Structure 1
Amino acid sequence: MSDAVETTDLVVVGGGLAGHAAALAAAGLGADVILLEKLERFGGSSAMAGGGLVFAGTGLQRREGVGDSPERLRAALAEAGRGHSDPALLDAYADTQIEVHDWLRELGAEFSLTGQPVRRLHTMPSGVLVGLLHRRALDHTSVDYRASSPVVSLLHAGDDVTGVVVDGRAGRTRITTRCGVVLASGGFSRSRELVGRFAPHCAQAVAMGGVGNDGDGLVLAMAAGGAPVGMEFVEASFGASAAAGVEPRLLYAQSDGAVIVNTRGHRFADERGDIKALGRAVVEQPGGLAFQVFDQAVMEMSRRTPKTRDFAAALRDGLLAEAPTLAGLASRLGVPAGALAESARGLSQPPYYGYACKAGLTSTYGGLSVDGLMRVLDTAGSAISGLYAAGELVGGFHGAGYLIGSALGKAAVFGYLAGRNAVLAPRETARNAPAF
């Protein structure tokens, strides 16, 4: 039986935040879009993440008296990347993020404001934003969303990417495109093979992120000549729950005053470090295990968003040990009481809490090399015609560190850019631009 054949303006691969942003941005320009998700359910890592996106210079910040600007945000991203972030991607993010924030607000997003030292983390409850965009995609007459539709190969005409082959429920379908393909299929944290290849030091980390994050988009793009970048900076993140039998989650009580100790009760890292640096430090501890230890004063800072600061939920779900004294908590955690008392001497308001955690590979950060238009680049630095990437699949943005909120922010901003640029580029460069 021969493959079914279809034609559309743009194909977007991946039903997470980046994919939905790309599809809606392209459809907003009048393009017909097929949005493909290989699993039965949309969302990917975006549906599991804490819910915060970094924006700067927003109306919400102004209303709450927060002085901020795109230039300050760019500087913060560059500092977090320790000089290894691609300047073109930092520029693309800083220059577009206000436009994307306002666009999300027009679609119905309602953000709360938090963050340190500058309140620029715009939060929604976990999974709510991607759910909102999914409803908007389903309602849009120019977006055709298809679940259970894995892409098994890209189509080519010479060096140009011209479509995809989908192995869906009804068999194989060849979808050719007039504008190209946006890959927004997530990272590779769930692929033992790719983790072993690109980040063997993370092989023992807790596998997290979307269950479909097996690096299939990365493999497709590399087969088309796409170059990987930033793989040397793939790091597991701090704060993955170590409890057995439950889906791991992240908790960052250290951001509100918790101390971090190892199984000997000793502090071993600066709690002000970013989650990559702390993740590296945890891996080096006995058993790769650490505890976030805090008191009631920190517990009272619990909030529903971002999810990483919902200490009350962690307590309800049985992820925290609780005791009226530090000695009692030491007994529950199995660490020396004297060492814990010394490490936690700044905590004074009982009861006390302990959260066992490991390093978790949530987002792989390294990925495809792209330019500021989100065009995938080959090993020579040239754009592959018709191929774009967005979200976690994009490498080179985070550099050697991580600014909290920049992963979901990157998904929304780069998805928006990829979808728009894929549609606009043929209009500007082709003699026979498609009519919309």
Structure 2
Amino acid sequence: MGFLLAGTLFIIPLLGFTGALGFEGVKVVGLYLLTSVALFVWGVKLAKLKKNFQLSKAWILPALFLLTLLISSLKSKEPVTSLIGEYPYFQGWLSYLFLIFLAVLIAKSKIRQEWIEFSLILSSLFVSLVALKEAFLVYVLHHSVNLYAGRVGSTFGQANFYSGFLLLCLPLVVKHLQRRWGKITFGLLMLGILISLSKLAISLLAGFCFYLIIRAYPKFRKWTLTCLVIVILFSQILSRERHSGIWYSEVVDPQTASWLQLHAPEKRIFIWQFAQRVILQKPLLGFGLDQVQVAFREYPAPLLPAVYRDVLKDLYITRTHNYLLDLLIFGGLVSLLAWSGVIWQFFKRKTAPEFKEMMILYLIWSFWQNQSIVHLMIFWVFVGLSIRLNETDH
């Protein structure tokens, strides 16, 4: 059983492009199949031992989260899409069902914590090596390789997706930095993130490395944090004044009318403002899973600011680049509260420091970027693991 679960965590991130399923669909199908096999094996084992299946109170909030998503999905305009998911992500209600099944299996099985960690570390190492290979072929040998927006995508097809996965696995590697293989793995994961050219992933990598430094040298913590705040504030001012840099390109420039006329409105500054207005139409239960585009189409255009009207009318997106907004659109305030409760319970429990570091990185990532099914899998796996560790202590 433990070997099967460890294999699931190792294999799913490595599943690459497969026909009509694409990069994400094949991972979702892999999740369904491997989790189903694990459930069957576990069920047979329970039957042989004649044990009853019981869940603790810790699963009330995950179950409530799943229930609210089901209700909102069944009430949506496209319930089949909400249940199965929409191309290319296929993150419908069934995906969440199997993710929570996987979390339950992690919590109820006797799989060693080290197996979970090493499965993800080894998988992230292979993902990074694939990305490095693609970068070498493209930038050094000038071979033709399928790129996404001019960047390598490894087994995820998108630079942001694979770099986010590598980022989440870094805390697991840090605890092994005293070993030679740990240093090599950490370096390769860093290289994989850097060649992704993902602004968010590289920024979080820098922040995580900075955190490791101040953790190693606590005497200089106040000075280093003060310097960091000054640098961030100064860089924003400089970005605005010189009309360059991330702050200007992502926040300031897109709000000008001239930018709107020349570019597709896919900046977060637009999507988030639009999404906030959409959410107010169905604040309690939302529009259903994978119904972002349906929700955007239903929004009354005359209420939009005049400068947005023409450029946003043809906007087509399936995610808002912010999981909080996604959840409010998918399942409304009720789903968001249930999910927030799961987060609160996680940090309330006694868990390893690296688990909390992973969760913090995940939360920051999910508030600024879309997610692969792999990111969601990591979240629910460690929710399940934290529940198991807490139940074991008691």
Shared fold by TM > 0.5? no
Indicate the structure with greater strand content: 1
- Which structure: greater helix fraction? 2
Superposition TM-score, scaled by structure 2 size: 0.30
TM-score, normalising length: structure 1: 0.28
